[in-house]
Amino acid sequence: MIPSEFEYHRPGSIDAALAVLQEHGDDARVMAGGHSLIPMMKLRMADVPHLIDLQSIAELKGIAVDGGTVTIGAMTTQHELITNDDLV
């Protein structure tokens, strides 16, 4: 099936993503990977007028190791975790 019509947003910063969320309110949904949302949209089980893709927000990516503390950004991929030399 084909999902219903929606507007796709790909902001480049957290502030830009928040601005889209504020502008569209409950009509907007944030997508990190889309592995569950996209199939639901295709089956028309989810109606999302505004889709916000977080993939371009560099602030949400990355792995930092500081002593005994590991910080993993929300948009860090599994591949980045597996191949990171600091996480051995």
Segment 38-55, tens digit of pLDDT: 888 888 888 889 999 999
**Model confidence at 37, in pLDDT bands (50, 70, 90)?**
confident
Q: What is the pTM for the complete model shown? A: 0.79
> Which tokens belong to 54?
């977080």
Segment 14-35, tens digit of pLDDT: 999 999 999 999 999 999 876 7
Of 77, 44, 46, 45, nearest to 63 by C-alpha is 77
E strand or H helix at 71: strand 69-72
Please list the residues that pair with 51 across neighbouring strands. Answer: 8, 29
Of 4, 88, 7, nearest to 46 by C-alpha is 4
Sign, CA torsion 17/19/20/25: positive
